[in-house]
Amino acid sequence: LEEAAFQLQQIFRIDISIALNILGIESMRAGHCRVAFTCFKLAADRGYGKAQFNVGLCYEHGRGTAKDLEKAGFYYCQAASSHHPMAQYRYARYLLQHGPGSLCDRRHKAVALLEQAAGAGITEAQAYLGVFYMRGLQPQEKRGLKYLLQAANRGDAQSRYHVGICYEQGLGVQQNLAEALRHYRHSAAAGNRQARERLQA
């Protein structure tokens, strides 16, 4: 693998970590998960953020290696520290569900990471924050609606459904049933079952 990466590096004049990551992606596409994992791991251990994220995915889903959420969290953390937006989202989720330390500290760190990922345009982070702020211990409805709208405008049907609820119930915005119906229709058209049920109701 090192030799193949070296050859790729010579052809494209790119860093060996990038070459290994590319080999990993191509191997994964070809269904060679163990080879892909090895490539990702070699590049990750050289400090390459994209490969660290890919190693995290492999450990989270058990692709090319045994499933290990703690190791997935470690590699997501590494990638997140180099400002990889999707790694920030994944590591935040890991912190909220499995991470070490007190729940308060984990939640504080996770929200900061989610805010960064959402700001970088990660729809999943926007959707997660929207619901988090709506349903938190101290709901911040306007803030939640802002993130739900961002995710909805990026095509997330579930967030569009939640925006409909906000308009129907007056959460973070003035109650407006016509606007709620519009959002429910958009969400239902995108295949959201809850929105279809809400429209029938």
- Whether the per-residue pLDDT at 82 is higher than 90: the answer is yes
pTM for the complete prediction?
0.84
Q: Residues 10-23: pLDDT tens digits?
A: 666 568 899 899 99
What are 50's two structure tokens? 């994209």
Q: Residues 152-190: pLDDT tens digits?
A: 999 999 999 999 999 999 999 999 999 999 999 999 999
Q: Which CATH superfamily is domain 122-200 in?
A: Tetratricopeptide repeat domain (1.25.40.10)
What distance in Å separates the CA atoms of residue 23 and residue 34, rounded to the nearest whole number?
12
What are 91's two structure tokens? 């590591």
Contacts by 183-192, CB closer than 8 A, 24 or more apart: 183/152, 186/152, 186/157, 186/160, 187/157, 187/158, 187/160, 187/161, 190/155, 190/157, 190/160, 191/157, 192/157, 192/158, 192/160, 192/161
The single residue listed with the structure tokens 């990889």 is 84
Q: Residues 95-153: pLDDT tens digits?
A: 998 877 788 888 899 999 999 999 999 999 999 999 999 987 677 899 999 999 999 99
Q: What is the pLDDT of residue 3?
A: 78
H helix runs in the chain, sequence order: 2-12, 16-29, 33-44, 49-61, 69-81, 85-97, 103-119, 123-135, 141-153, 157-169, 177-189, 193-200
- For residue 161, what are the contacts with CB-CB under 8 A and spacing of at least 6? 183, 184, 187, 192, 194, 195, 198
What distance in Å separates the CA atoms of residue 155 and residue 65, rounded to the nearest whole number?
33
Question: Do residues 1 and 42 make contact, with C-beta atoms less than 8 angstroms apart?
Answer: yes
Q: 201: which DSSP letter?
A: -
